[in-house]
């Protein structure tokens, strides 16, 4: 049984972080000779192909994202739309139900991995296929944030749920609890709409709220799987297993493959090489995060205030068309030669691996933290939404591998001074707290890169799946 080669179908949510996360796992499975059919929105192929290390075993299947009224023409992923229109993309995802069913019928896989397509288990069971909810967010986030279908009052959301691991550092600030409550209301079900499960066509299922969608995804699959290790999140995995009464299996850290930094864009590479090792600050907030203009300006002024060279990859803020429009007066002239604020695509993994980079200011997205944990730069945490708040407490509190930027408890605003203070704390030798954080960073990096760790997790992952057949 151990030598049986398996066939997997992957159907991740239409967000680049989810797509690449599923593809990284696909590479690890293909490395062991298993066959993968990877379903993705048509126009994402060019971004995904370069990460496919086993083209003979990982087969891409392009899917046309159905158009839903209100969705911009050609919108395929979350980076194409504002967050308040995500419910329309969920509706589009649900309208692919018949297409996915026909693929399952044709391909006859052993397993299908999904995340937001909560109806996959129902379809898979019809054909004797096992369904795995491969969750792109951390077990700690799932355990803390998934409280039930009814909205959790803000004051309750600030505290962990009953039975949550007692030694956890995870709690929410008032403004964070308020934002989580707002997320709960996105795509709220209209009265009498039902869940949309079993509709066959997926019609009407776009009315399923975000919270219900996730609850169904966790409750209906055969297994819940996470990209983590028991050493980092063991108690949270047990909490999730008990909560959903489902087996939880861990795929391990799923580290990005080693990369050659000589592939970094030439102009940026030459610019970084002007500076000493570990002196450059790299700031990146992902492909979706947009700040308000005032906070955008405080962030870049905070980077300037450190006196260190910096490269910031940020989207223009809400109130500006371009980065240039958003920069503070006189800022561009002052940072000439020492700082860059860039609005285009940034090769994050390549930049993080560059010898000159010594600090990463991050929005705490799961993939960004995974990439950062195996590099040597220090971590400064600026969570913006949803599970990023929990990730920041996990990495800044439980693991003590980074420092969060201080913010106002009521409104979540940070200042240039608080940005500068956090960066200097992790980069200077003078602070005892900074020394402790850097030592922890080194310890966890060594653990994640330790020989055989990742292989042992992937092998155990496959073996546990074999027992389900």
* Catalytic positions: 18, 115
If residue 43 lies in a helix (H) or strand (E), which one and from where to where?
none
Distance CA 66, CA 71 (A): 10
Scan for tokens 């046309």, then name that residue.
Answer: 64
Distance CA 132, CA 224 (A): 6
Distance CA 402, CA 423 (A): 10
Q: Which of 146, 241, 244, 239 is nearest to 464 (CA)?
A: 241
User: Could you give the C-alpha distances from 173 to 290, 366, 397, in angstroms and in order?
Assistant: 20, 20, 14
If residue 226 lies in a helix (H) or strand (E), which one and from where to where?
strand 223-226
**Pairing label, strands 111-114, 130-135:** parallel
Beta strands (DSSP E) in 328-393 are 339-342, 357-362, 378-381
For the residues of 141-184, what is the DSSP string, one character each?
HHHHH---SSPPPHHHHTSPPTT--TT------HHHHHHHHHHH
- Exposed / middle / buried, residue 108 (Cβ in 10 Å: 0-12, 13-18, 19+): exposed
Tokens encoding 329: 């007066």
Tokens encoding 236: 């949270």
Distance CA 251, CA 113 (A): 13
Scan for tokens 């010898």, then name that residue.
Answer: 355
- Exposed / middle / buried, residue 253 (Cβ in 10 Å: 0-12, 13-18, 19+): buried
Scan for tokens 């999730």, then name that residue.
Answer: 240
Q: Which of 117, 123, 162 is nearest to 144 (CA)?
A: 162
Scan for tokens 């298993």, then name that residue.
Answer: 34
- Which residues are CB-neighbours of 145 under 8 A, at least 6 positions away? 180, 386, 387, 390
What distance lies between CA 377 and its chain's CA centroid?
19
- C-beta separation of 44 from 60 below 8 A: no
């Amino acid at each position: 049984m151990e030598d049986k080669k398996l066939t997997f179908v992957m159907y991740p949510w239409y967000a680049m972080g989810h797509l690449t996360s599923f593809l990284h796992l696909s590479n690890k499975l293909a490395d062991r000779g298993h066959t993968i059919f990877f379903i993705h929105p048509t126009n994402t192929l060019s971004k995904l192909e370069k990460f496919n290390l086993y083209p003979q075993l990982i087969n891409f299947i392009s899917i046309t994202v159905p158009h839903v009224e209100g969705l911009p023409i050609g919108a395929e992923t979350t980076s194409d739309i504002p967050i308040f229109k995500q419910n329309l993309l969920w509706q589009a995802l649900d309208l692919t139900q018949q297409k996915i069913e026909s693929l399952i019928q044709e391909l006859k896989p052993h397993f299908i991995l999904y995340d937001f397509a909560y109806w996959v288990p129902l379809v898979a069971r019809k054909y004797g296929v096992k369904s795995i909810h491969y969750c792109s967010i951390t077990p700690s986030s799932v355990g803390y944030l998934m409280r039930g279908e009814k909205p959790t009052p803000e004051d309750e959301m600030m505290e962990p749920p009953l039975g949550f691991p007692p030694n956890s550092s995870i709690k929410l600030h008032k403004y964070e609890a308020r934002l989580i409550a707002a997320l709960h209301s996105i795509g709220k079900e209209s009265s009498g709409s039902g869940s949309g499960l079993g509709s066959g066509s997926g019609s009407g299922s776009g009315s399923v709220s975000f919270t219900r969608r996730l609850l169904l995804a966790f409750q209906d699959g055969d297994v819940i799987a996470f990209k983590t290790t028991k050493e980092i999140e063991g108690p949270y995995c047990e909490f999730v297993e008990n909560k959903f009464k489902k087996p939880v299996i861990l795929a391990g850290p799923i580290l990005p493959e080693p990369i050659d930094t000589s592939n970094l864009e030439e102009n940026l590479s030459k610019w970084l090489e002007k500076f000493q090792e570990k002196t450059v600050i790299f700031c990146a907030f992902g492909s979706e995060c947009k700040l308000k203009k005032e906070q955008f300006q405080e962030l870049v002024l905070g980077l300037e205030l450190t006196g260190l060279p910096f490269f910031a990859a940020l989207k223009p803020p809400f109130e500006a068309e371009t980065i240039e429009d958003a920069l503070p007066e006189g800022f561009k002239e002052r940072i000439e030669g020492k700082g860059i604020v860039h609005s285009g695509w940034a090769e994050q993994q390549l930049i993080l691996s560059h010898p000159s980079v010594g600090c990463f200011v991050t929005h705490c997205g799961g993939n960004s933290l995974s990439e950062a944990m195996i590099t040597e730069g220090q971590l400064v945490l600026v969570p913006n939404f949803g599970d990023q708040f929990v990730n920041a407490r996990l990495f800044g509190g439980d693991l003590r591998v980074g420092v969060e930027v201080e913010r106002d408890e009521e409104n979540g605003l940070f200042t240039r001074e608080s940005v500068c203070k956090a960066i200097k704390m992790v980069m200077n030798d003078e602070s005892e707290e900074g020394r402790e954080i850097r030592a922890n960073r080194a310890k966890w990096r060594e653990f994640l890169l330790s020989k055989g760790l990742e292989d042992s997790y992937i092998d155990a992952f496959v073996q546990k799946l074999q027992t389900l057949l």
